[in-house]
Amino acid sequence: MGSLVKQRVLRTIILLILGVYFILPLIAMAEFSTRGKGGSRSLESWTSIVDDEGLMEALVNSLLLSVTSAVLMLVLLVPTMAWIRLRLPQLQRLVEFLCLLPLAIPAIVLVVGMAPLYAWVNFFLGDSPLTLTFAYTILVLPFAYRAVDAGLAAIDLKTLAEAARSLGASWFTVLWKIVVPNIRVALIGASLLSVALVLGEFTIASLLNFDTLQVQVNLLGKRNAGVSIAVSLLCLLFAFVLLFALSYVGQRRRQTVVEE
């Protein structure tokens, strides 16, 4: 019994200390971003977020990018991975290696090699920030791969596909009407992760000179710290809500498995 009390005390101490350590910057951000003139409180930093055209434009860019990157990731990854499980097990290791490779190559290194590549991309496709979709799809690969792989491992893909094929379904129908609905929870998970990652990405966008949310926030910080801090706080809270929602998505999957 004594050790249980000790455990509870120790646990409370750890949670209190680290809790304060991590919450203090959040409080500081809220305090800093509501400072007015002469020690008063003001919401000016918050209201001027919406008025800042550069920031809004960058936000739109980032939101669009988060969608295009998630879509490209799904289009490339899901059919390939399902097909590899069904017909091309030889490629399993290669594809896994390629998908996890970005973990070993820091983004700051990748961007060194991407700079000359993007000179070509921008020459052929224009210099829209949306061309970052290609780079971001690479960045989200490791996370997306794991999520989709777990989803595919949890269903009996071979049997499902054979049943559908014997009933005359085309491979496209198998993919669209059998695979996708069965692993939709994994796909939602992969998409949410990539949205969060794209909205927070700074390294590649800033060094390839594209105007995204984080690049603007950083730039803005040089002349108006209050607004930058307000947007930063919003970013952190938004990412938190996304990941918090994700924890329920994961749980629903666990429950369905139990029910089955």
Among 20, 24, 50, 119, the residue binding other proteins under the rule CB under 8 A is 24
Contacts to other proteins from residues 63-92, by CB under 8 A: 72, 75-77, 79-80, 83-84, 86-88, 90-91
151: three-class secondary structure by DSSP: helix
Contacts to other proteins from residues 103-142, by CB under 8 A: 103-117, 120-121, 124-125, 134-135, 137-138, 141
Among 11, 93, 184, 252, the residue binding other proteins under the rule CB under 8 A is 11
Tokens encoding 74: 């799904």
Residues 6+ apart with CB under 8 A from 35: 41, 42, 45, 226
Q: Is the dihedral of CA 177, 183, 184, 190 positive or negative?
A: negative
In the complex, minimum distance from the CB of residue 20 to other proteins, in angstroms, rounded to a whole number: 11
Among 29, 74, 148, 187, the residue binding other proteins under the rule CB under 8 A is 29
Among 26, 43, 60, 119, the residue binding other proteins under the rule CB under 8 A is 26
Q: How far apart are CA 125 and CA 163, in angstroms?
A: 43
Beta bridge partners of 41: 35
Q: Total residues at the site for other proteins (CB under 8 A)?
A: 96
210: three-class secondary structure by DSSP: coil
Among 147, 201, 210, 253, the residue binding other proteins under the rule CB under 8 A is 201
CB 159 within 8 A of CB 88: no
Provide DSSP, 229-243.
HHHHHHHHHHHHHHH
Contacts to other proteins from residues 227-256, by CB under 8 A: 228-229, 231-233, 235-236, 239-240, 243-244, 246-247, 251
59 lies in the binding site for other proteins (CB under 8 A): no
Q: How far apart are CA 92 and CA 84, in angstroms?
A: 6
226: three-class secondary structure by DSSP: helix
Among 9, 20, 31, 36, the residue binding other proteins under the rule CB under 8 A is 31
In the complex, minimum distance from the CB of residue 196 to other proteins, in angstroms, rounded to a whole number: 5
Specify the residue, 64 or 225, whose C-beta has the smaller distance to other proteins. 225
In the complex, minimum distance from the CB of residue 232 to other proteins, in angstroms, rounded to a whole number: 4
Binding mask 137-176 for other proteins (x = CB under 8 A): xx--x----------------x--xx--x----xxx--x-
Tokens encoding 152: 């595919």
HSE of 50, CA atoms in CB hemisphere, 13 A: 4
Specify the residue, 8 or 184, whose C-beta has the smaller distance to other proteins. 8
In the complex, minimum distance from the CB of residue 79 to other proteins, in angstroms, rounded to a whole number: 7
Closest CA to 223 of 55, 98, 107: 55
